[in-house]
Amino acid sequence: MILQYQKEQLHAIIVTQEEERKRIAQDLHDDISSKLNIVSLNTHLLSAPNLTIDETNEITENIINLTAKALENSRKIAHNLLPPVFEKFGLNAGVEELCEEFESSKSVKTHYKNEIDFDQKDIDRHLHIFRILQELMNNSLRHGKASEIWIAFTNDNGTNTCHYEDNGIGFDSSNLENQKGLGMKNIDSRVSFLNGTIKFDSQIGKGIAVNFTF
């Protein structure tokens, strides 16, 4: 039974990694490569003889605009892979920024509080916590249609715990099939890496509550 569970966890991790790689490859191809191709074509056009000043200005403006967009998109891709604020200032700052991003771009109200002093030397472990929250927040919006999210890090009798809630449409948590999606398996795998436990509590129409230890 344990071996089967470990196999399922490993499978979930591999599938998630491949999905992520596919998404990054798509982003690089669509956002970066296509724009740089047009920049290259425009650069060759500049070397054409008998260009008017207006034509030269138009081509130059195209190159500047496309280069700026390619640069902005490459920053976004890098940021999604690992936010600089997380790497530089740790988990607390990373989650604060994550909440700000959700509030500004995805029109959801977030409430975040932290009572734990995170040690920067554990950043590899903290990355799992960050990814779990990313997954939970995306699920809250994508599936739960939530408008409010609550996140709290507390130390409960010596155990570090994350309490997560939303006010979305919820699901029947007594039905295990609802907890078998790829995102849930990925969360499960990360909690396992943290030697923690996780508990989902939800009812249809009453949002979701998740508690995990780490």
- Using the Cα atoms of residue 66, residue 68, residue 70 and residue 73 in order, give the sign of their dihedral: negative
Give the residue-averaged pLDDT of 155-181: 79
**Which pLDDT does position 66 carry in this prediction?**
94
Least reliable range by pLDDT among 44-58, 61-75, 79-93: 79-93
Which residue do the tokens 């650069």 mark? Answer: 43
Query: What size, in residues, is the chain?
Result: 214
Least reliable range by pLDDT among 113-117, 160-164, 169-173: 169-173
pLDDT higher than 70, residue 144: yes
Q: 210 and 190 in contact (C-beta within 8 Å)?
A: no
pLDDT band at 2 (very low <50, low <70, confident <90, very high): low
